[in-house]
Amino acid sequence: MQSIAERLKAAQGRINQETALAHRPPNSVQLLAVSKTKPVSDITQAYEAGQRLFGENYVQEGVDKIIQLQALADIEWHMIGPLQSNKTKVVAEHFDWVQSIDRSKIAQRLNDQRPDSMPPLQVLIQLNIDDEDSKSGATPKQLEALIEQIEALPRLVLRGLMAIPKASPTVEEQQRTLGRLQQIFEHYHTKLANFDTLSVGMSGDLGPAIAHGSTMVRIGTAIFGARQ
Ligand SMILES: *Cc1c(COP(=O)(O)O)cnc(C)c1O
């Protein structure tokens, strides 16, 4: 059985290879290690192997880990799960990034609840790029207004977009969806100063996502093993 360090190295190797295949500069795609449900000892192992960006889905679990690992001060903690408004305060008080903003109420609350003692919260808007009823995320139609609102909030820095494309698309569907996402991202990337992050791509669609401009891929199972 491979160690976390070995699996991390393999994941990084895949990213480097896909980045080169897409003719993009080395290190233009970051790896977010998704550690949801995994113990802090696993995170520590990944940290010791050089990993610094970690993603958590569940608010209380994530906050518990952040507190337990606060000695590892250069970890960047990303909230990537659905966020309810009664949980925003504890998120604003602990996380570095929130990738799952999907409506103005959540953005406003995170802004108001971000402590002055902390740097501004870095945020992504989760875009429901397939426009599926079942999935969370702002629809492409809602995006412009949400961007304008967040740009006016002093305690949030709007860094870009996150998307979770449909799991088993046809090759054509996947190309179309990722192409549309890239186009929307590039439009705002050229317009807005800090809009530099496109969080898309997981184990199953790493190559196509990187070919379509992803700057951050999110990988859990391939690093930490299957979840219970
Ligand atoms: C769980 C999760 C991942 C990682 O999924 P794996 O299949 O474990 O690699 C990535 N992104 C989001 C939003 C997730 O919830």
pLDDT tens for each residue of 55-65: 999 999 999 99
pLDDT for 169: 83
What are the b/e assignments for 160-195, b being 16+ CB within 10 Å? bbbbbbeeebeeeebeebbebbbebbeebbeeeeeb
Residue range 4-224 in CATH 3.20.20.10: yes
For the chain, what are the domain ranges? 4-224
51: which 2 tokens? 């990993």
Q: Is the whole-model pTM more than 0.75? A: yes
pLDDT for 133: 67
Residue type, 134: S
Number of other residues whose CB lies within 10 A of the CB of residue 73: 6
Q: What are phi and psi of 78, to 5 degrees?
A: -115, 125
> Is any ligand 1 atom within 6 A of the Cβ of residue 7?
no
> Is any ligand 1 atom within 6 A of the Cβ of residue 63?
no
Compute the distance between CA of residue 17 and CA of residue 144 in angstroms, rounded to an integer. Answer: 34
> Is any ligand 1 atom within 6 A of the Cβ of residue 202?
yes
Judge whether residue 145 has pLDDT over 90. Answer: yes
> Is any ligand 1 atom within 6 A of the Cβ of residue 219?
yes
pLDDT for 225: 95
142: which 2 tokens? 């809602």
Residue type, 62: G
Judge whether residue 186 has pLDDT over 70. Answer: yes
Q: Name 76's bridge partners.
A: 53
- Which amino acid residue places its CA nearest to atom 5 of ligand 1? 220
**Nearest atom in ligand 1 to 100's CA:** 13
What is the average pLDDT value for the chain, to the nearest integer? 96
**Span from the CA of 152 to the centroid of ligand 1 (angstroms):** 30
Average pLDDT estimate for 186-203: 97
C-alpha angle 168/130/221, rounded to 5°?
A: 45
pLDDT for 135: 72
Average pLDDT estimate for 107-121: 98
Judge whether residue 104 has pLDDT over 70. Answer: yes
**Span from the CA of 120 to the centroid of ligand 1 (angstroms):** 25
pLDDT for 228: 84
Least confidently predicted of 62-71, 133-142, 161-170: 133-142
pLDDT for 134: 65
> Is any ligand 1 atom within 6 A of the Cβ of residue 164?
yes
Number of other residues whose CB lies within 10 A of the CB of residue 145: 11
* DSSP annotation of 119: P
3-state secondary structure of 19: helix
pLDDT for 106: 98
